[in-house]
Amino acid sequence: MDTPQYPHVSSIDTPALVIDLDAMQRNLQRMQQFADQHGVRLRPHAKMHKSAVLALQQISAGAVGVCVQKPSEAAAMVAGGVKNVYVSNEVIALSKCELLARLNSGLAVQNGRISVAVDSLLGIERMAQAMESLGAQAAASAPMDVYVEIDVGQGRCGVPPGMAALALVLAISQRSCLRFAGLQAYHGRAQHLRTAAERRAAIAQVVQQVQHTKAALEAAGISVPLVTGAGTGTFMHEAASGVYGELQAGSYLFMDADYAANQADPAQLQFEHALFVKSTVISRSSTATDDRAVVDAGHKSHAIDSGLPIPWAGHGADWVFSNGGDEHGILRGSHLPELGDTVWLVPGHCDPTVNLHNQMVGVRGGLADGYVERIITVDARGALT
């Protein structure tokens, strides 16, 4: 179906970030179904796709809202119509807290909300100050949901598991403009532990630390409304724990080469690659010492923080991609593609790859012979603050 309105995939200029919409849709439904079957909420992480329309698609399918990492991402989601956004990260600057307070107030009339994570008394103090600057009535009628983050092995943000959370929870409880919403417990590095056994063991530790924290809070008379966390590598373990009530997986929607390098867990849901970089061979060299094809996609097209991209399996080729710099990639192997040929690449890491692009090209009917159905704007591209 090649019409001016629905151009054939072959007409997409390169490099381009392309979504296989059929695979994406299956991934979306597969994860929502899993969450429903396990009686847990799904709050996909929008730091991955940074697109309000995709967040809304996830919410239409049953997600409770989305997560983001930065206040400016929250603003982009809200501007795009998303009504429930959780900033699963610490916010210290008063101006950022004020932004979140204003967004929360605006969403309240639509039954929506902003929530935020804290791991310090200063963070709580600043958020309360920002809420109160809205005016006492506004602040009290739509309190900000606040999650206390515990460090469950990431070694980054969060207070240590156990008693440390109590002081923060008490500080939140003393402010009518804030509401203790639960615990944020995400182990980022566990997501890419390569063996299924390692991931299982890591989350078993995480769950222990969460339970230890819950017990400390309950001993002080505080119940924990919700535990939220998990990622695409481990979510089945959090879901099965009986402790987590909400999953924040994000990458499952698109997947990437780094996740593909994880040893699959037979018990784990499989997701399909739905994100690709379309590239073109712009140079071809066959000398006594080297046979190579150079494509026009380098690390300004696909993030390499977690490894280089891999050629799409659909090429049925043995090509190996090596780093050609910002704007080039070098392929070696047999039956290399020729000048002008298309090469589809699976990016190493989906989140920062999306962040390199202003838009994503949504293709229906597959990479080989599909057509462009829609352009998806990366609304929160470069939303770092």
Vertex 201, ends 200 and 202: CA angle to 5°? 95
Comparing CB distances to a second copy, the nearer of 348 and 362 is 348
Residue 305 near a second copy by CB under 8 A: yes
Among 23, 356, 360, 361, binds a second copy (CB under 8 A): 356
Contact range with a second copy by CB under 8 A, out of 133-141, 170-178, 207-215, 322-330 = 322-330
Nearest to a second copy of 25, 72 (CB atom): 72
Report the residue number, 62 or 333, with the smaller CB distance to a second copy: 333
Nearer to a second copy, 82 or 294 (CB): 294
Q: Does 20 bind a second copy (CB under 8 A)?
A: no
C-alpha span between 372 and 385 (Å, rounded): 32
> Does the protein bind a second copy through residue 91 (CB under 8 A)?
yes
> 3-state SS string over the chain?
CCCCCCCEHHHCCCCEEEEEHHHHHHHHHHHHHHHHHCCCEECCECCCCCCHHHHHHHHHCCCCCEEECCHHHHHHHHHCCCCEEEEEEECCCHHHHHHHHHHHHHHHCCCCEEEEEECCHHHHHHHHHHHHCCCHHHHHHCCEEEEEEECCCCCCCCECCCCHHHHHHHHHHCCCCEEEEEEEECCHHHHHCCCHHHHHHHHHHHHHHHHHHHHHHHHCCCCCCCEEECCCCCHHHHHHCCCCCEECCCHHHCCCHHHHCCCCCCCCCCCCCCEEEEEEEEEEEECCCCEEEEECCCCCCCCCCCCCCEECHHHCCCCEEEECCCCCEEEECCCCCCCCCEEEEECCCHHHHHCCCCEEEEEECCCCCCEEEEEEECCCCCCCC
Q: Does 95 bind a second copy (CB under 8 A)?
A: yes
Encoding tokens for residue 373? 């159905």
Question: Judged by CB under 8 A, does residue 119 bind a second copy?
Answer: yes
Told to check if 300 binds a second copy by CB under 8 A, we report: yes
User: Considering only residues 232-251, where is the footprint of a second copy by CB under 8 A?
Assistant: none
In the list 142, 183, 281, 372, the residue contacting a second copy (rule: CB under 8 A) is: 281
**357 binding a second copy? (CB under 8 A):** yes
201 forms part of the interface with a second copy (CB under 8 A): no
Nearer to a second copy, 60 or 385 (CB): 385
Shortest CB 90 distance to a second copy, Å: 4
Out of 1, 79, 93, 220, the residue judged to bind a second copy by CB under 8 A = 93
Which residue has tokens 């532990």? 193
Rounded CA-CA distance 336/15 in Å is 18
**Distance from C-alpha of 94 to C-alpha of 276, rounded to nearest angstrom:** 39
- Please tell me whether residue 197 binds a second copy under the rule CB under 8 A: no
Q: Does 188 bind a second copy (CB under 8 A)?
A: yes
CB of 67: closest distance to a second copy in angstroms?
A: 12
Which is nearer to a second copy, 35 or 128 (by Cβ)? Answer: 128
Binding mask 127-166 for a second copy (x = CB under 8 A): ------------------------x---xxxxxx------
The single residue among 309, 311, 324, 362 that binds a second copy, judged by CB under 8 A, is 324
Which of 175-183, 262-270, 312-320, 356-364 is the region at the interface with a second copy (rule: CB under 8 A)?
356-364
Residue type, 378: V
Q: Is 291 in the site for a second copy (CB under 8 A)?
A: no
Burial pattern 273-299, b for ≥16 Cβ within 10 A else e, equals bbbbbbbbbeebeeeeeeebbbbbbbb
Under rule CB under 8 A, residue 29 binds a second copy = no
Peptide bond into 15 cis (omega under 30): yes
Residue 172 near a second copy by CB under 8 A: no
Give me the least distance between CB of 360 and a second copy, in Å please: 12
Q: What is the footprint of a second copy within residues 48-87 (CB under 8 A)?
A: 69-70
Could you list the residues that contact a second copy (CB under 8 A)? 13-16, 47, 69-70, 89-93, 95-96, 119-120, 122-123, 151, 155-160, 188, 280-285, 287, 290, 292, 294, 296-297, 299-301, 303-305, 323-328, 330, 339-340, 351-352, 355-358, 381-382, 384-385
